[in-house]
Structures are given as C-alpha cells and as structure tokens.
Structure 1
Amino acid sequence: MKNIRQSFFIGFLVLCIAGFLLAGCGGQKQADRQAADIAKADTPKSKLIVVITPSHSNPFFKSEAVGAEEKAKALGYEVLSLVHDDDANKQNEMFDTAIARKAAAIICDNAGADATVAAVKKAKAAGIPTFLIDREINVTGEAVSQIVSDNFQGAKLGGEEFVKLMGEKGNYVELVGKESDTNAGIRSKGYHDVIDQYPDMKMVARQSANWSQTEAYSKMESIIQANKDIKGVICGNDTMAMGAMAAIKAAGLKNVIVVGFDGSNDVRDSILGGDIKATVLQPAYRIAQLAVEQADKYLKSGSTGEQEKQLKECILITKDNAKKLETFSMKE
C-alpha cells in the first residue's frame, strides 16, 4: 500500500512539472508572438516611396530627387522618382500611380499651391501620407508635412546684398518666377521689402521668366534694348540669373550686378569667376532628406513629432563663402 502511495505521488509530481514546463513554453511562445506583432506594427506595410518633382533639367529639382532617393534607400525603401514638369494634370496622374502602387508615402515638390490640394486629399483618402517640400499648398491638415525654405527671410538677405552692391542707387530689373508659384511672390515681396526703402533704386522693368534660363535670356535681351543704363538685375532663382548674365554679356554691358536665389553649383562657379555677385542658398538636398526621415518616422509611429509647416533658414552666398557650396548644401 505504501509503495502504491509513493508511485501515485511520484506520478503526480511528474505531471505537475510537465504542466509547469508546458505553461512556460506557452508563455514564451505568446511573448514571442507579441514581440513579432509589435515589430510588424513598427514596419510600414509598403516599402515604396514615390518622389514627385518638377523637371530634373533644373539642378535644384534634381538635387531634391537625388536627396530624397538616397535617404529613402538608406532607410530600406524602394523609390519611384517621377517628374510633373509643373503640369498639374500630369502631377495628378502621378498621384494616381502612387495610389495604384500602394505607396507608403509621397514626397512632392508640387505643381501649384491650389492645383495640388485635390491630389493630396485623394492620396490621404487612400491612406497614403504626403510630405511636401520647397512649395506649400494653400490648405493645412491634408499633407503631413510642408517643409520649405524661409523664402521671405532668404529674399531679404538677397535684397540687402543687392542694395549694398548697387550702392543704394541705380536702375535695376527684376525677373520673377512662375506666377502661379507661391515662392515667386514671396521672394519678390522679400526683395521689395528691402529695396523699396531706397528711393534712388529705380525698377525699370519687372517680368516673369518662369524660372527658365532661356526665357530669362530672351526677356533680358528685350529689356536691355529699351534700357541701356541698367545697373543691376535681381532674380527669383539661379536659373534665371544665369540667363540674365548671358544676355548682359552678349549685349556687351559691363559691371552689371546680378543676384540670384537657390544656391546652384552653376551660380557658385559664376560668383567665383567674378560674374554673378551673390545668391541665396535654400538647402534643397537636406530638405528632401528631412521629408523622407519624417515620412519614415510617421509610418512607424503615426507622428513626425513636428508641426505641419516647417521653415528652414536660407544662407547668403557671396565670393567669401562660395567655395563651401556644393549641390545646394554647405560643406563643413
């Protein structure tokens, strides 16, 4: 009888130990499943980021695309880079492509402050967040981020340098960007906020060259024919500044002060060569990378940790610091 009780006790003890071991294994498996679920939740379902910009023939926009693509690939994403050529209808089709491809996010330098709103809303409704760079849209709450250079601050820097170079007097020309582009108006306002304080500064012509080098050349040719005593030209971007400088040289004019805006390598070289006198750097490459970083954070956590509208300061570029400028960023 004693042996039976001992056998029963030993059997019971074995069953208990086995039960504890099974429970431990089950608990471990459950913990492993929970860890896997958390890791899965932190990983975006799609690994495609669509980058949409204006034409890469403008080095500024190419720099944006390159910066975004490099950062996205470094973070483990695939990239589809598209060009809308400032055509809102074409841009709309590209948003449709991003939606059809079930993109994780869209990085966009847009084709119009008003014209882009519907596309951003459409992407949002499809569960795809948009991160805007360089140009804002005229609504808030639809894009996750709108990261742009402080164009007004930058234009004031350019305007102040222009006035100084002009000796606070003389006839000048302003070439503005695409009229539908918010930045064109902001930069012009920033320039005039400074220049208009000097009564001896006389604007003899103001025309849009639509951000184009060839158009700037053509417009300046016509302006020079009517105004041989031009002392300076202030431009809404570097591409137009290059066109203006070429027209000035072709006309045989000397000592005309040209100031641009963007911080391109072409204008850097022109400044170092003694032609164009100054530009204003807006850090396009870094802004594009920042947008991708915020997209990655948003996809993983549901928040960028930043306000929607973010302004990044611009830097005046002259002969003193032009050597540090490289592809829309300053070398250390």
Structure 2
Amino acid sequence: MKRNMRKWSALFVSIILVLSMIMGCSSKKEETSGGEETKTEGKDYEITVVCMALNSDYWHMVEAGAKLAGNELGVTVDVVGPNAESDSAAQINMVEDACNSGADAIVLAPNEPTSLVSAAKTVKNNDTPLVIIDAKLDTDDESLYDCFIGTGNIAAGGEGGNFIASKLEKGDKVGIIRGLNGQSVHDQRADGAQAAMEEAGLEVVSIQPADSDRGKAVNVAENMLQSDPDIKAFYATNDDMALGALQAVESAGLKDIVIVGFDGTFNAMDSIADGKLTGSVAQQPIEEGYQGVVNAVKILDGEEVEKEQALDVVVLTDENVADFRKNVEEQIEKSGVKLN
C-alpha cells in the first residue's frame, strides 16, 4: 500500500513539473512605455537595422531609438551602416548579409533610393519583412516593402525656408548646400526650402552638393561667397553641411549671416545654444528608429501596419533647443547607446 502511494506521489510530482514547464514556456504579453501589448515573450526575433551611415549623431540617434524598442520588446536588434552616406555598394552588401545571416526582419534607410531597389528585391525574394525609414525607395513597386516611416521632406524643407525668410528681407540672396545628387531626401529638402524662400521673395543664387560632408561644405560655401559676396543666408539639407557653411562664414570674418541646417543633431544643438548656427529643422530620428523596430515586430506577429507613417519636425532655435535636447538625452540614456 505504501509502495503504491509512493508511486502515485512520484507520478503526481512529475505531472506538476511538466505542467509548470509548459506554463513557463507559454507566451506572456509585454507592454511598451505606452501601455500597449506588443510581442509575446519567447519569440527571439532578430532584427537588422541598416542606416544610411553611422558617421553622425543623427544615425546614432536612429540607432538609439532602434535599441530602445529592442530593449522594450525583448528582441535582438543589430544596427549597421556604411562609413559614408555615399557608399550605396556597402549598404547593399549589408542588406544581403542580413538576409544571409537569417535576420527575421530588416529596417532600412536607403542611402541611394535607386540602387537600393535591388537590395529590397533580395529581401522580398528571401521572404523577409522590410520596413523602410527616412527615405523612400525610388520604385513604384510597393510590394517590395511593408511600410515607410519618415519625415515629409518637402514640407519640412518648406518650414526651414520659411524660417529663413522670417529672418531676411525680400530680395536677399540665399545659397543652398545639399546632399548627394540623386538622393531623393536631399532633393525634397532642397526643393521644399527653395520654393518657400522664393515665394517669400528671396533669391536663391546657387544650389550646390556637398555630399552631406562638413569638409566639402566648407569649400562649397567659400566658393559661393566668392562668387556672390551678398549672400545673406545658407540653407543646408543636413546639419554637418550647415556647420561647414558656418566654418566658412567665420573664416571669412562675416557676421549676421543666417545659417539653417536639417536634422537636429547634437553638434547643431550645441552651435544653436552658443548663438552660432541660427537653426535646424529637427527630425525625430529616435522615434524613426524606434517605430522601425516596433513595426517590424508587429509585422512578424502578423499584425497589420499602416503603409505610410509620417513623422513631424520642429524648427530648433535658441528659444527651444534646451528643452528639445533634454528630451533627446533622456531617451538616448535609456537606450544605452553611446554617441561619438
């Protein structure tokens, strides 16, 4: 009798242990900072985020947002990018490597929207979800990607142009320094600003590329000033080029020239706070990276996502830059990403 009881007791304990293991392995919902249920615990997703480059604060802020989402959702996030935004060949290789290494989803900011179409086709053929951020692919085939998240660059450029116009008089001359020719992001930012400034009565005397490089922007701005010493403002389609224009202006001993960049990087914020750079059209790179990963996880979980997701911008000035920076720093600290 005792022997039978011991057998039944052992069997009962075994059943309890098995049930505990099953319950422990079952999915439990986690919550984001917004309180919404997102992914189920135990889904070990691996998501690769391919930035245009990793040579500026802007892309490290995108990285911070992606890592923040990964930490909150419990997924593995690998962030990569070329050394320069002009290196589309390296970016294509990174996308292909992500496919070959078995990434569950890819978040891509295409640095050359035409060239990266081939990489998107590779991702599609691999049956891997693809979220595009920051810049759209130059294609009419929307089946190549699941959704796009980014700034409306024409409207945002227009905000930068209107801000410059508010600082100048009708008839004043402006130079535009833009990113690599053919990059739709910089096309749109330049076009939007040019249209707004010309509508306000300003004269855009020159539009020259500096390939998103500060050193090249110094030379471009110097050449513009030599060709037309009456330039009263520079608009640049990213902050590094705006800071290059600032360097050229300071080297020439000029004052009261309005200089506005685009992105809202830390270097730009420092310069604005110091009373040097006039302003910057700040995107939300942290939110961009964050939403890129969040949407990738939703797609992997079988949820529907909006095809087009626009993010707002804010024009940073000496009046609002301190509060904006504080909020950004808090998010970056939470993500654990170290800036350069």
In the superposition, the TM-score normalised over structure 1's length comes to 0.82
Distance 2:249 2:67 in 1: 37
**2:116 is matched with which residue?**
116
Who wins on radius of gyration, i.e. which is larger?
1
Q: Which runs of 5+ in 1 are unaligned?
A: 1-24
State the Cα deviation string for residues 220-243 of structure 1 (Å, max 9, x = none): 112222222221111111111000
User: 1:158 pairs with 160, 167, 170, which one?
Assistant: 160
Distance 2:254 2:145 in 1: 47
Structure 1 consecutive aligned stretches of length 4 or more whose deviation exceeds 4 Å:
35-39, 41-46, 327-332
Give the conservation status (yes or no) of the 8 Å contact 2:194–2:204. no
Task: For 2:97, give the aligned amino acid.
Answer: T
**1:314 corresponds to 2:313:** yes
SS at match of 1:326: helix
Q: Quote how far apart the aligned CAs of 1:135 are.
A: 0.9
**2:100 is matched with which residue?**
100
Give the conservation status (yes or no) of the 8 Å contact 2:41–2:74. no
Task: For 2:73, give the aligned amino acid.
Answer: L
Give the number of aligned pairs: 299
SS at match of 2:144: coil
**1:215 is matched with which residue?**
216
State the Cα deviation string for residues 22-53 of structure 1 (Å, max 9, x = none): xxx9xxx9xx79x95999x9678652111111
Q: Quote how far apart the aligned CAs of 1:324 are.
A: 1.4
Q: Quote how far apart the aligned CAs of 1:307 are.
A: 2.0
SS at match of 1:218: helix
Distance 1:218 1:279 in 2: 21
SS at match of 1:260: strand
**1:180 is matched with which residue?**
182
Distance 1:259 1:236 in 2: 9
User: 1:61 pairs with 30, 44, 59, which one?
Assistant: 59
State the Cα deviation string for residues 186-245 of structure 1 (Å, max 9, x = none): 11121122111244x222222011111111011111222222222111111111100000
**1:238 is matched with which residue?**
239
Give the conservation status (yes or no) of the 8 Å contact 1:63–1:328. no
SS at match of 2:180: coil
**1:126 corresponds to 2:126:** yes
Change (3 A) 1:306 1:328: farther
**2:72 is matched with which residue?**
74
Change (3 A) 1:328 1:209: farther
Q: Quote how far apart the aligned CAs of 1:145 are.
A: 1.5
**1:169 is matched with which residue?**
171
User: 1:192 pairs with 183, 191, 194, which one?
Assistant: 194
State the Cα deviation string for residues 258-313 of structure 1 (Å, max 9, x = none): 1111111211121122111111111011111011111111111x23x332222112
Distance 1:262 1:38 in 2: 38
Q: Which runs of 5+ in 2 are unaligned?
A: 1-14, 30-38, 332-340
Distance 1:74 1:311 in 2: 22
Distance 1:38 1:75 in 2: 12
**1:271 corresponds to 2:269:** no
Distance 2:185 2:231 in 1: 26
Distance 2:145 2:327 in 1: 25
Change (3 A) 1:115 1:44: farther
SS at match of 2:325: coil
Give the conservation status (yes or no) of the 8 Å contact 1:151–1:314. no
Task: For 2:315, give the aligned amino acid.
Answer: L
Change (3 A) 1:289 1:158: same
> How large is the RMSD of aligned CA atoms in angstroms?
2.7
- Structure 1 stretch displaced more, 278-287 or 84-93: 84-93
**2:143 is matched with which residue?**
141
